[in-house]
Structure 1
Amino acid sequence: MIEEKITDMHIGGVVIFTKSLFMFLLLDVYLRGSYAVNGNEVEQHLEMGKKLLAAGQLAEALQHYHSAVDGDPNNYLTYFRRATVFLAMGKSKSALPDLTKVIELKPDFTAARLQRANVLLKQGKLDDAEKDYKAVTEKSPNDEALMQLSTIAELRGNIREAYQLVEYGQLPAAVEVLGRAIEICPWDPSLHETRAECYIQMGEYYKAISDIRPTTSLRSDNRPAFLKMSQLYYKLGEAEESLNQIRECLKLDPDDKNCQPHYKKVKKLVKQINAAQEAKNNGQYDECLNKAKQFMKTEPSEEFYQLKGEGYLCHCNAKGNHIQEALMMCNRLLNKNPDNIDALMDRADTYLASEKWDDAINDFQKALNMEEGNHRAREGLNKAQKLLKQSKKRDYYKILGVKRTARKKEILKAYRKKAATWHPDKYEGDDKAHAEKMFIDIAAAKEVLTDPEKRQKFDNGEDPLDPEQQQQGGGGPFWHEGFNPFGGSGFKFKFNFN
């Protein structure tokens, strides 16, 4: 036995050395056994990763390749396969170190070098990509590498041309050339940023946002990109989305000196706009006017928010029966934007309230021409046409001399005053027949305007006491449903002004 041979040796230093050698041999045997187990596990992880990758289960495949790399950190294939998964997941930054590790472990592995070159090219790192493609062609002819080397030469010229066009202010041409470069280098943030600036100067903010957005992942801690997108959404009038983007900046650094002031301003504006909308929805029209004026004061420079505020002032003045203010704001808004269908219908409602039937019909008809199926415009037009027709007959408000917004108390007061003047029993003039007619009209007006349902019908352009409109027969336009202002057929008038 080895151990017995060692113990038989009695030379001091030699004995110690031989025991150390024995321990080393035992450790070597142990490590070999351990490696065999780990080797089997690595193969299992690689096999499972391969199956999951084929099934499109990338996250699960990646976990197995992580385990394979940990189990065998010197196996170039484990790194290469993990890089393949990273690329499939769109994580080129993570794939690049793995591909570099593969090349370190196996410099002649052409597939890895070609893959790394492709990643570098997409990232816009032309010099590094060129070196890898050349290394591939020097080892053996490769059509893909040769084609990409030609592409890089042409691409350098395109990029130089694009920057010259930007410098000369030829922005549409620059955008076109940059587009060709971005097709080849989609992961180059500088190209996206340059094209975004062109779009901003051209006033095409949505396209600029589309170019800025990918740079938030292509550059680490890219707070300026989130701030820029927030500012662009703000200019576009999308305050809520502006707030979302600036919050992303503050997630990266809550104390960012550029993002913080913008965040406070946008947050305040959004709160005021939402308050104005809530008041409008709840029919709190005076509150709506106050909140609209507040957010117009918060943002006096950007035209969108001024127009939005004027929209609230037009609508809420119209609904709040502030006739003059409504007409002023709606006219101002329509002068700036004649196609604003909401302002057009708000002005039409204001014309209705001021009994300008023809003007109301004209505005509602314009709104219908813009949007044929608009329910509000269709209803408004029908109402305005009925009211125009009604105005040529009998207007109960005019009979009593009250406004359309008059309350029941005002209506009864006006009725009593008119009835006291024209009641045939009290009338002192000679024309009793005229007094009878006037009193019938006054009594009819009182009946309609003090009954909420009948008044609503009248306000909608329908006379509830007109048998032609009600499709009822009767002895005349005001003699139905038992209505008799004189209380009997003998015209024995009694004062009853309740």
Structure 2
Amino acid sequence: MSVITIRRLICLTKSIVVLILSLGVFLEGVDGSPAEVQQHLEMGKKLLAAGQLADALSHYHAAVDGDPNNYMSYFRRATVFLALGKSKSALPDLDKVIQLKPDFTAARSQRGNVLLKQGNLVKAKEDFAMVLSKDPTNEEANLNIQKIHPLQASIEEAHHFFHVREFQAAIDLLTQAIEVCPWDIELREIRSECYMAQGDYFKAVGDIRSTTKLRSDNTPAFLKLSLLYYDMGDAENSLINIRECLKLDPDHKECYPHYKKVKKLVKQLQSAQDLRNEKQYEDCIAKAHQILTTEPTVTLYIMKAKSFLCHCHSRAGNIKDAFAICNEILDLEPENIEAVMDRAETYLVNEQFDKAVNDYQFAVNIDGDNRQAKEGLDKAQKLLKQSQKRDYYKILGIKRTARKKEIMKAYKKLAKKWHPDRYKGDDKAKAEKMFVDIAAAKEVLTDPDKRQQFDNGEDPLDPEQQQQGGGHHWHQGFNPFGSGGGGGFNFKFHFN
């Protein structure tokens, strides 16, 4: 036998010895003496008084294990469970206490309170009646037993109102009942149905969420939550809750297909948002159409997809499509500020500056603190004013979305036509003026900074605007012919 094998055997033997010793200690703890049980009870009492509930609970566990017939151990452990908000764990302990000591009124009173909060009114009434038979002056039992009969009547009436579809009347009665019976699952389920019938999904979600905590393995509640969030347009929360359903039942016939659909939709929505943020507008448009294919019926997702289409068509320069989809949104939601601003941007691209001003002004009226709306209004107003002066895009006959290659192509074509050295007409002054404007347009639109300045409503070659805006003054008197002025210039333009 090798040295390594011997060492392994020694280690294994030691482990077995430790396990046996540990088991012996555990068994000794389970069969603890009355003195040890009492010690655990005292320690638990001190820790409970100090608010150290978890530590107190561990001592009460040990006391119950040490003496399974000691009713006080169960009662004190139930007290800790209740303090921790674990009524479902407390109830079996209180049942055991009453089984071991039927005349223990403190346990009867506590169990009655738990049953009352759970909505088990018949059994709660029995416990309070038993307490009063032993102690007729018990004020708490008297108050609680007086609540039960009118409470039963109110709940019955709430059921009636629910069935005849008088939902608000049912909600009012159920709300009063839930104040007394906050752990009653059925009352919350009925009230959630009333809220849904009224279209108040947020309150319905609150009630259904409570039932998932009050009842373990509540797959129907998680499915209902997921469907509610889905209908509210909150696909992410819908996905979270349908996953909870599948954790409880991976093969659930309703949860699994809904999970596949909502997971796909969440991914598409996030992808469309990312593409929009990254200014990949054509891909954004394609992704928005995928969203409409995945969910063609729920209005909120249709509107989200159309919002992506409105924005991305606008920024991609697809004027006709942008107007169509933005107007479609605004027909349904006239104060949709995002669609208003996207349409305003489309008007800017289409050089309808007055309409852009109107849209941005409307957006500012909707939300006076919206920085994008205020900046857009300022830009549109400047462009409107600028359009009444020199427009470099119109001079070159190009769109505002034109790339540098298109700008240079238009410039060369017009420069050939109007260059004074090549101009065949008699009006040399006109040719020179046209060439100056063409050269100025080329200078501004091929320089990213100057073009941006111009697109924001400022002419970088306008001396007056530069002085007002504190810009550089070297643009003043722009002349592509140099210092020679208009007459006798010797500027030479080279054509390819």
State the TM-score, normalizing by the size of structure 1.
0.89
| 1:153-232 → structure 2 map (5 Å cutoff) | 153-232=149-228
Q: Note the alpha carbon deviations across 1:320-348, whole angstroms, 9 max, x for none.
A: 11111111111110111112111111111
Residue among 248, 259, 266 paired with 1:263: 259
Offset of residue 272 of structure 1: 1.2
Correspondence 1:103 to 2:98: yes
Q: Answer yes or no: is 1:330 the counterpart of 2:330.
A: no
Q: 2:66 aligns with which of 55, 68, 71?
A: 71
Deviations 1:301-336 (A, max 9, x none): 111001111100001111111111111111110111
Q: Are 2:288 and 1:288 aligned? A: no
2:406 pairs, out of 397, 406, 410, with: 410
Give the drift of 1:195.
0.7
Deviation at 1:487, TM superposition (A): 3.7
Q: 2:78, 2:476 → 1: CA distance?
A: 88
Q: Does residue 88 of the first structure (1) align with residue 83 of the second (2)?
A: yes
Instruction: Kindly state the Cα deviation for residue 277 of structure 1 after the two structures are TM-superposed.
Output: 1.2
Which region of structure 1 is more displaced relative to structure 2, 36-45 or 151-160?
A: 36-45
Report the counterpart of residue 16 of structure 1 in structure 2.
none
Query: For structure 1, which segment, 48-57 or 326-335, has the greater mean C-alpha deviation from structure 2 after superposition?
Result: 48-57
Identity %: 64
Runs of at least 5 residues in structure 1 that lack an aligned partner in the other structure: 1-32
**Residue 312 (structure 1) aligns with:** 308
**Normalising to structure 2: TM-score of the pair?**
0.89
State the distance in 2 between where 1:246 and 1:128 align: 36
Structure 2 counterpart of 1:444:
440
**1:492 corresponds to 2:462:** no
1:435 to 422, 431, 438: 431
Match of 2:12 in 1: none
CA shift digits 1:461-491 (9 cap, x unpaired): 1111111111299xxx998478432244132
- The equivalent residue for 2:48 is 53
After the TM superposition, which residues 316-395 of structure 1 pair with which residues of structure 2 at under 5 Å, given as runs? Answer: 316-395=312-391
**Counterpart amino acid of 1:332?**
E
SS at match of 1:446: helix
Whole-angstrom distance in 1 between the partners of 2:213 and 2:240: 17
* Partner Cα separation in structure 2 for residue 478 and residue 418 of structure 1: 28
Residue number in structure 2 paired with 1:139:
134
> Following the alignment from structure 2 to structure 1, what is the Cα–Cα distance between the partners of residues 32 and 395?
105
> 1:455 — aligned with what?
451
SS of corresponding position for 1:471: helix
Measure, in 2, the Cα distance between the counterparts of 1:34 and 1:396: 92
Q: Give how far 1:167 is off.
A: 1.5
Asked if the contact 1:182/1:188 (under 8 Å) is kept, the reply is yes
**What 5-or-longer segments of structure 2 have no aligned partner?**
1-27
The one-character-per-residue Cα deviations of 1:234-275 (angstroms, maximum 9, x if unpaired) are 000110100100111111110111211111111111111111
Match of 1:443, SS state, is helix
Superposition deviation, residue 440 in structure 1: 1.3
Q: Which has the larger radius of gyration?
A: 1
Q: How many residues align?
A: 463
Partner of 2:462: 466
Q: Which of 128, 152, 172 pairs up with 2:123?
A: 128
- What is the Cα deviation at residue 146 of structure 1? 2.1
Which secondary structure state, in structure 2, belongs to the residue aligned with residue 73 of structure 1?
coil
Partners in 1 of 2:275 and 2:359 — Cα distance?
A: 26
Contact 1:387 1:460 in 2 (8 A): yes
Other-structure match for 1:13: none
The answer to whether the 8 A contact 2:30-2:65 is kept is no
In the aligned structure 2, how far is the partner of 1:186 from the partner of 1:411? 72
Q: Is the 8 A contact 1:466 1:478 kept in 2?
A: no
Aligned 8 A contact 1:323 1:350 in 2 = yes
Once residues 41 and 177 of structure 1 are traced to their aligned partners in structure 2, the CA distance between those partners, rounded to angstroms, is: 51
3-state SS in 1 of match to 2:33: helix
8 Å CA contact retained: 1:444, 1:478: no
Q: Quick one: distance in 1 between partners of 2:196 and 2:432?
A: 76
Retained in 2: the 8 A contact 1:424–1:493? no
Deviates more, 1:55-64 or 1:333-342: 55-64
- Which aligned segments of 4 or more residues in structure 1 are displaced greater than 4 angstroms? 33-37
Aligned to 1:398: 394
The answer (yes or no) to whether the contact 2:289–2:305 under 8 Å persists in 1 is yes
Q: Distance in 2 between matches of 1:34 and 1:114?
A: 32
